[in-house]
């Protein structure tokens, strides 16, 4: 018996096709086997393929897969899925709440022409990496910090972030799944810039990484003394993120990450 699924490809954190970060979004009635979802993510060869299903309470369950592994949390595929639900399939719906496979609850609402995601804050703390970061990056960092998932490296300016070409073998040997490189924005264009490298998940450079801003927002809110921030991820595709530090709540410290999306493609996948 074959299974036919609809697959949407949506560019997240951009208002134009071919910008931002493409995500494959697949609605399902029941979870396919995890090996099938992982194989689809490898076949799609995007940073993330996301699967979601409706719950009896009106919320949604959601799962994220890179080409190599299932993730606990991911930003741009959550935004892409919310765009599919709120802008394409159920445009009269005011908000969408997603429950991850690892216990997080994420609510997405409309905010001034964008979609705003309520995510956990994961502020970085002092970090002594297991590899020399200057060797990996080819430039001496101003400081290094990390949360359990990702390392965060501060460089002197935006030009240094744009110019960096990290060593792949060094990234693969690092004791964090991903490495965030960041610096203050130049001029009035934005508050800070970043790039994100995650070859341990099969993605050398991620075009725009919402979940990295769970660390970047508290880091820059503290350094700049402001809670509302405009961020740019300066990868080749590029993306814009409207950020807000929400502070402590019942669910702990939270951040708001908002952006726009551009649908690119709708197709069907037939599985044996």
Distance CA 248, CA 243 (A): 16
Distance CA 272, CA 262 (A): 31
> Of 30, 43, 48, 205, which one is the catalytic site residue?
48
Distances (CA, A) of 23 to 63, 69, 119, 259, 266: 13, 15, 18, 14, 12
> Rounded to 5 degrees, what are φ and ψ at 257?
-125, 115
Distance CA 10, CA 22 (A): 5
- For the question of residue 140 being annotated catalytic, the response is no
In eight-state DSSP terms, residue 85 is I
Distance CA 108, CA 95 (A): 6
Distances (CA, A) of 128 to 54, 92, 151, 161, 235: 42, 49, 10, 21, 26
With beta carbons less than 8 A apart as the criterion, state whether 43 and 56 touch. Answer: no
Which are the catalytic amino acids?
A: 48
């Amino acid at each position: 018996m074959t299974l036919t699924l609809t697959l949407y490809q949506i560019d997240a954190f951009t208002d134009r096709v071919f910008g931002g970060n493409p995500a494959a979004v697949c609605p399902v009635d029941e979870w396919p086997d995890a090996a099938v979802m992982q194989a689809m993510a490898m076949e799609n060869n995007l940073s993330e393929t996301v699967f979601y299903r409706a719950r009896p309470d009106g919320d949604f369950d959601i799962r994220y897969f890179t080409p190599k592994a299932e993730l606990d949390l991911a930003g741009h595929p959550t935004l892409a899925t919310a765009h599919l639900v709120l802008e394409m399939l159920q445009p009269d719906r005011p908000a969408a709440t997603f429950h991850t496979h690892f216990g997080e609850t994420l609510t997405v609402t409309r905010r001034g022409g964008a979609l705003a995601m309520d995510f956990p804050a994961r502020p970085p703390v002092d970090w002594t990496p297991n590899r020399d970061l200057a060797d990996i990056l080819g430039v001496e960092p101003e400081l290094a910090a990390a949360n359990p998932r990702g390392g965060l490296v501060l460089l002197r300016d935006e030009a240094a972030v744009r110019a960096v070409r990290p060593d792949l073998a060094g990234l693969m040997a690092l004791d964090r799944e991903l490495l965030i490189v960041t610096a203050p924005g130049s001029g009035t264009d934005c508050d800070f810039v970043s790039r994100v490298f995650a070859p341990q998940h099969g993605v050398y450079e991620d075009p725009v990484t919402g979940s990295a801003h769970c660390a970047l927002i508290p880091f820059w809110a503290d350094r700049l003394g402001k809670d509302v921030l405009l961020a740019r991820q300066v990868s080749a595709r590029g993306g814009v993120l409207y950020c807000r530090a929400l502070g402590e709540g019942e669910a702990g410290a939270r951040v708001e990450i908002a952006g726009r999306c551009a649908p690119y493609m709708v197709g069907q996948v037939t599985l044996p």
